[in-house]
């Protein structure tokens, strides 16, 4: 999907994603001391706004202007810098203590460019957190993109960082329970890819 496709998708509904942060983002980042954060492919900004409300100085970048406009409205008085940019080409060198990539599902070459841009945006000692639909979700999980080309494993993501220096804090697939098991929808397990590294 290009930026125009995403604009259409965002324009078609009130809120495409939740207003709450992703559960892994909240679990991984709650204890991190606030600093400067970049949410790359931020969408409507659920994670960016959550970070900003926890004291982070946040830049939210996405190539969909419609998503960013919705994020700005959602943020209200919460200060977030909204930047319309392509995650595969844009970065601000060594400017951030934290870079977040949440559910940016791109074919391998583009994903690699985005992951490397994310890393290059970090200061030494900064944290890169990537959460995405895992490759195994296609056969073992539920929901998410059905094109295997845009899914990934933790090994793929670490491979994207070949030649860069980092310490791995997490590189694993993690279960995400979808549906609450009440009503007609049974609870199901989606598999996500979670990678957290610190720039050396
Ligand atoms: C599944 S949404 C996730 C949004 C947000 N990270 C979240 O977790 O709520 C994927 C987002 O990636 C953005 N995106 C896709 N390709 C992009 C690219 N090359 N550059 C910037 N944003 C991109 C889309 O516009 C969309 O907002």
In a domain, 32, yes or no: yes
User: Could you tell me if the CB of 10 is within 6 A of ligand 1?
Assistant: no
Cβ–ligand 1 distance for 144 under 6 Å, the answer no
Three-class secondary structure of residue 186 per DSSP: coil
- The answer to the question of residue 190 being in a domain is no
Q: How far apart are the first and last CA of the chain?
A: 34
Number of domains, the chain? 1
Query: pLDDT value at position 125?
Result: 98
Report if residue 36 sits inside a domain: yes
Query: pLDDT truncated to tens, each residue of the chain (200 aa)?
Result: 999 999 999 999 877 777 799 999 999 999 999 999 999 999 999 999 999 999 999 999 999 999 999 999 999 999 999 999 999 999 899 899 999 999 999 999 999 999 999 999 999 999 999 999 999 999 999 999 999 999 999 999 999 999 999 999 999 999 999 986 566 678 899 999 999 999 99
Counting beta carbons within 10 angstroms of the beta carbon of residue 26, is it exposed (0 to 12), middle (13 to 18) or buried (19 or more)? middle
Closest CA to ligand 1's atom 27: 43
Ligand 1: which of 3, 9, 26, 43 to mutate, judged by most atoms within 8 Å of the beta carbon?
Answer: 43
* Inside any domain, residue 195: no
Residue 131 Cβ contacting ligand 1 at under 6 Å = no
Euclidean distance between CA atoms 4 and 175, whole angstroms: 32
Report the nearest atom of ligand 1 relative to the CA of 17.
9
Q: CA-CA distance, 109 to 17, in Å (whole number)? A: 26
pLDDT at residue number 62: 98
Which of 2, 19, 41 most suits a substitution to test ligand 1, by most atoms within 8 Å of the C-beta? 41
pLDDT (0 to 100) of residue 17: 73
Write out the residue range of the structural domain in which residue 97 sits.
3-8+16-133+142-177
43 in a structural domain: yes
Q: Tell me if 57 is assigned to some domain.
A: yes
Find the DSSP H helices in the chain: 3-12, 23-29, 46-53, 65-75, 108-120, 137-140, 154-160
Give me 138's structure tokens: 């296609």
90 within ligand 1 shell (Cβ under 6 A): no
Hey, how many other C-beta atoms are within 10 angstroms of the C-beta on 78? 15
Q: What is the CATH number of the domain that holds 170?
A: 3.40.50.150
Note the pLDDT of residue 168. Answer: 98
Domain assignment present for residue 42? The answer is yes
Please report the atom of ligand 1 found closest to the CA of residue 46: 9
Contact 178, 187 (CB under 8 A): yes
Residue 53 lies in a domain: yes
Q: CA dihedral defined by 67, 69, 74, 78, rounded to 10 degrees? A: 120
Q: How far apart are CA 51 and CA 71, in angstroms?
A: 13
pLDDT of residue 123: 98
CA of residue 179 to ligand 1 center, whole Å: 23
């Amino acid at each position: 999907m290009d930026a125009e496709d995403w604009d259409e998708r965002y324009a078609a509904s009130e809120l495409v994603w939740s207003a709450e942060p992703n559960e892994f983002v909240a679990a991984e980042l709650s204890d991190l001391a606030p600093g400067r954060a970049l949410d790359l492919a931020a969408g409507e900004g659920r994670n960016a706004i959550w970070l900003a409300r926890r004291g982070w100085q946040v830049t939210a970048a996405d190539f969909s202007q419609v998503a960013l406009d919705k994020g700005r409205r959602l943020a209200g008085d919460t200060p977030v810098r909204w930047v319309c940019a392509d995650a595969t080409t844009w970065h601000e060198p060594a400017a951030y203590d934290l870079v977040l990539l949440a559910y940016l599902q791109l074919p391998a070459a583009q994903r690699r460019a985005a992951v490397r841009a994310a890393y290059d945006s970090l200061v030494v000692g900064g944290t890169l957190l990537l959460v995405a639909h895992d490759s195994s979700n296609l056969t073992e999980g539920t929901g998410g993109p059905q094109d295997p080309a845009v899914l990934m494993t933790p090994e793929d993501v670490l491979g994207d960082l070949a030649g860069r220096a980092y310490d791995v804090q997490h590189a694993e697939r993690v279960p995400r329970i979808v549906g609450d098991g009440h009503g007609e929808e049974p609870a199901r397990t989606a598999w996500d890819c979670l990678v957290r590294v610190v720039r050396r």
